């Protein structure tokens, strides 16, 4: 006699649930924009423009997601990005090598990650204090290097920067009737690779699982035999490395350096991570959610501009409001799930 066995699908965990909510909100928001604002929202190039303009922010947000999952915070990432940009611009303008400039960017990022990670993990200094000091130091060093804007005048770098990936079938017809293919910058490829690699790290590697365990409950992580100090150190080291990569991608997009480069990037990265479902308390988060969190954050800014509110404070107001909305949404969703578990 055959017995029909009912298969029950396991419910989404907190990380998957918050990520799913973020993705659904982004899709709904973009469809709303296509219906009511039309214009560029109807072209696939708008999506590529979101990626082109925010590739460096996506990379930084990946690093911050790792740190926040582990229960930490890093507010120096924007300043480190700015220092990397200015350092590489000045080096290239003095006739430097493009490959060496990339190594310089990675070295600066790793240097900050190494020092800050050591102070936070092994000397047990508060992350906010350490990274605040790192932010001031990086900003100061950027200003010392050059107060004036610097444009990259290097043929090898110009050739690298001008590389564009064209996707003809996703293009659109211009007003003059010519077909304009969709274009994606090389920095977007780098950003997507960073997202994939961080996803693999958090999902399938032991170090990634240790980040979640440490952020969820440090005492339990210690009882499981996890080296919490080393794990926390690695989170800041990886975050610093990604900040260095972000700086180079930022330079590839703008082709110039400025003392105010990447101003406020750390706040946007934190907002992107939170919108993507990463909790400030640690233990919950997903880099795919962070990726869509970044797109959601930048899309709402474009909607504000499309609405005719061109003043910069409107973007700040809507960003703050949306951030509060997602924090409240996370609190409601997680509290209801906790009540169901207890019941």
Give the domain extent around 58.
Answer: 43-335
Rounded to 10 deg, the angle between the 77-93 and 44-69 helix axes is: 120
Residue 5, pLDDT > 90, answer no
Gyration radius of the chain over CA positions: 21
- Please identify which residue in the block is written with the tokens 């696939």: 44
Rounded to 10 deg, the angle between the 287-306 and 44-69 helix axes is: 130
Residue 177's pLDDT is 67
Residue 8, pLDDT > 70, answer no
| Cβ 340 vs Cβ 24: under 8 Å | no
Report the C-alpha gap between 82 and 248 in whole angstroms: 10
Q: Please indicate, yes or no, if residue 5 is contained in any of the structural domains.
A: no
Give the CATH number of the domain where residue 257 resides: 1.10.3470
* Per-residue pLDDT tens over the stretch 81-126: 999 999 999 999 998 899 999 999 999 999 999 999 999 999 999 9
Q: Please indicate, yes or no, if residue 113 is contained in any of the structural domains.
A: yes
pLDDT band at 16 (very low <50, low <70, confident <90, very high): confident
Residue 292, pLDDT > 80, answer yes
Q: Please indicate, yes or no, if residue 35 is contained in any of the structural domains.
A: no
Report the C-alpha gap between 31 and 332 in whole angstroms: 25
Least trusted range by pLDDT, from 76-90, 158-172, 268-282: 158-172
Residue 1's pLDDT is 44
* Per-residue pLDDT tens over the stretch 184-220: 899 999 999 999 999 999 999 999 999 999 998 888 8
Which of 102, 81, 217 lies closest to 157, judged by CA? 102
Q: How many domains does the chain have?
A: 1
Q: Please indicate, yes or no, if residue 234 is contained in any of the structural domains.
A: yes
Report the C-alpha gap between 130 and 148 in whole angstroms: 28
For 16-38, give the DSSP string: HHHHHHHHHHHHHHHHHHHHHT-
Least trusted range by pLDDT, from 209-213, 232-236, 301-305: 301-305
pTM of the shown model: 0.90
| Cβ 142 vs Cβ 273: under 8 Å | no
Residue 6's pLDDT is 46
Residue 157's pLDDT is 87
The dihedral over CA atoms of 250, 256, 258, 263, expressed in degrees to the nearest 10, equals -20
* Range list of β-strands (E), the chain: 150-151, 164-173, 179-185, 256-257
Share of the chain above pLDDT 90, in %: 46
Mean pLDDT of the chain: 86
Report the C-alpha gap between 241 and 180 in whole angstroms: 36
Q: Please indicate, yes or no, if residue 260 is contained in any of the structural domains.
A: yes
Q: Please indicate, yes or no, if residue 133 is contained in any of the structural domains.
A: yes
Residue 78, pLDDT > 50, answer yes
């Amino acid at each position: 006699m055959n017995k029909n066995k009912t298969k029950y699908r396991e419910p989404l965990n907190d990380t998957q649930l918050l990520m799913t909510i973020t993705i659904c909100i982004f899709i709904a928001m973009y469809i709303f924009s296509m219906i009511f604002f039309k214009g560029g929202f109807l072209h696939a190039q708008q999506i590529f423009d979101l990626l082109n303009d925010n590739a460096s922010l996506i990379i930084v947000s990946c690093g911050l997601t790792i740190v926040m999952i582990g229960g930490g915070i890093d507010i120096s990432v924007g300043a480190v990005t700015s220092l990397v940009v200015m350092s590489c611009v000045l080096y290239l303008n003095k006739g430097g090598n493009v490959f060496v400039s990339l190594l310089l960017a990675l070295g600066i990022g790793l240097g900050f990650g190494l020092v800050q990670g050591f102070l936070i993990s092994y000397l047990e200094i508060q992350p906010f204090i350490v990274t605040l000091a790192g932010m001031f130091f990086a900003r100061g060093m950027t200003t010392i290097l050059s107060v004036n804007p610097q444009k990259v005048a290097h043929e090898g770098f110009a050739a690298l920067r001008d590389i564009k990936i064209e996707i003809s079938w996703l293009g659109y017809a211009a007003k003059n009737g010519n077909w304009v293919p969709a274009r994606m910058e090389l920095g977007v490829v780098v950003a997507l690779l960073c997202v994939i690699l961080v996803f693999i790290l958090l999902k399938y590697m032991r170090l990634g699982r240790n980040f979640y365990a440490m952020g969820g409950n440090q005492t339990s992580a210690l009882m499981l035999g996890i080296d919490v100090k080393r794990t926390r150190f690695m989170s800041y080291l990886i975050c610093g490395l990604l900040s260095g990569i972000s700086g180079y991608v930022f330079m590839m997009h703008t082709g110039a350096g400025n003392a105010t480069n990447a101003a406020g990037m750390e706040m946007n990265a934190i907002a992107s991570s939170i919108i993507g479902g990463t909790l400030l308390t640690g233990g919950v988060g997903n880099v795919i959610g962070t990726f869509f969190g970044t797109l959601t954050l930048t899309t709402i800014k474009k909607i504000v501009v499309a609405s005719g509110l061109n003043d910069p404070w409107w973007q700040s107001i809507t960003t703050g409001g949306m951030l509060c909305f997602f924090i409240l949404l996370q609190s409601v969703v997680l509290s209801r799930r906790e009540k169901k578990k207890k019941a």
